């Protein structure tokens, strides 16, 4: 069992940066791939980025590639999402999610979810 808690959301101007954190509990967290997923009002959940359990592999949605960076520190049971050059289309609730094994890009394949953190971008 893995529990996830996100933090770091807030209000930022367009072009600015935020770093989201996902703190996990559970002895097996180090064997889970972790993804960030976002959901804007009235829209479906959208895959953003994912990282393998070892941290050696990452994958990004085209919409954030080059602007967002996912990383993890297994010693701290924490996954990060560094978001730079934020755009007006980035606001959403950002969730971290975990699944045993390899990276998944489908939001339906994640087993464990945090409660989400709100990101707002002002123009």
What is the mean predicted confidence (pLDDT) over 8-14? Answer: 97
Backbone angles phi, psi at 10, to 5 degrees: 165, -165
pLDDT for 26: 83
pLDDT for 40: 96
pLDDT for 28: 80
**Cβ atoms 43, 32 nearer than 8 A:** no
pLDDT for 123: 85
18-63 confidence digits (pLDDT tens): 999 999 998 788 899 999 999 999 999 999 999 999 999 999 999 9
70-117 confidence digits (pLDDT tens): 999 999 999 999 999 999 999 999 999 999 999 999 999 999 999 999
Backbone angles phi, psi at 71, to 5 degrees: -150, 165
Angle at 47 between CA 27 and CA 43, to 5 degrees: 125
- 50 has which bridge partners? 35, 59
Q: In the chain, which ranges are E strands?
A: 3-7, 10-13, 18-25, 32-39, 46-51, 58-60, 68-73, 78-83, 92-100, 112-113, 117-122
Q: What is the DSSP letter of 9?
A: -
């Amino acid at each position: 069992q893995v529990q996830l808690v996100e933090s770091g959301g807030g209000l930022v101007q367009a072009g600015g940066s935020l770093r989201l954190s996902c703190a996990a509990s559970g002895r097996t967290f180090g064997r889970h791939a972790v993804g960030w997923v976002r959901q804007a009002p009235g829209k479906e959940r959208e895959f953003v980025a994912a990282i393998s359990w070892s941290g050696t592999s990452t994958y990004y949605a085209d919409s954030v590639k080059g602007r967002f960076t996912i990383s993890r520190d297994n010693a701290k049971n924490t996954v990060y999402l560094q978001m730079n050059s934020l755009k007006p289309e980035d606001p959403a609730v950002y969730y971290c999610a975990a699944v045993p094994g390899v990276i998944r890009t489908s939001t339906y394949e994640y087993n464990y979810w945090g409660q989400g953190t709100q990101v707002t971008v002002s123009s």
